Amino acid sequence: MSLIHAVVSRSTLIIAEHSADKRDFSQALQTILPKIPLNDSKLTYAWEEYLFHYVSEGGIIYLVIADAAAGRRIPFAFLADLQRKFLAAPSSSSPDMPPYGLQGSFGTTIANLMHTYNTAPPADELTRAQNELNQVKDIMVQNVEQILSRGERIELLVDKTDVMAGRATAFRRGARNIRRQMWWRDKKVLALCILVGLILLWVAIAQFCGVTLNRCLS
């Protein structure tokens, strides 16, 4: 069997329970029930080879002990059904319920429900539980896809940044080379202008003083 022991409690006060096995889980329940928060939550505790699945809502704890091989889908579908049946019970809202106050009436309900889920679980409940798991899985997949897509965009942006940085470096290197070439060209033009000026000056002087400047020197 998959489901072994089920409990409905208000905090640590057990209202009703049923065991489909002769194993004694009282000590384990005394240890685990105080650890369960009374705010709305769903969780699974592991104890030896068993899993303690619970739903805590409205100050009421719905707990089922199951074999580890049962997974989580069937136990939580059972707890959802158990919660609906308990809330539909006429005396479930009584605030001063004594220990095992509903054992006589609701204990039978737990036993029948556990037998149903151990032999032929309702398909609609399992389908609903599976759909919830699929929705969670879809959300997780969607988030992973968004993260991967964002990562690809980041990598693409990094690649583009690297390319732009390389182009900027090449541009600076090219600009430096052009400035150096223009500087040398300016120097060459200046030197050529000086040379041409000296030649023109020599020609002008040579017209009055001769080619060897002997007339002016004498």
Predicted structure pTM score: 0.56
How far apart CA 183 and CA 8 sit, in angstroms, is 92
pLDDT digits (tens, 9 = 90+) for 164-174: 766 777 777 77
Tokens of 215: 């007339």
What is the full DSSP assignment across 159-177?
A: HHHHHHHHHHHHHHHHHHH
DSSP state of 50: E
Query: Which one of 4-18, 83-97, 131-145, 147-161 scores highest in mean pLDDT?
Result: 4-18
Q: Where are the domains of the chain?
A: 3-157, 159-209
C-alpha pair distances (Å), 157 with each of 145, 154, 164, 167, 170: 18, 5, 10, 15, 20
pLDDT digits (tens, 9 = 90+) for 18-40: 998 888 888 888 888 988 888 88
DSSP state of 68: G
Q: What burial class does residue 67 get, using C-beta atoms within 10 Å of its C-beta: 0-12 exposed, 13-18 middle, 19+ buried?
A: middle
- Domain 3-157 sits in which CATH superfamily? Longin domain (3.30.450.50)
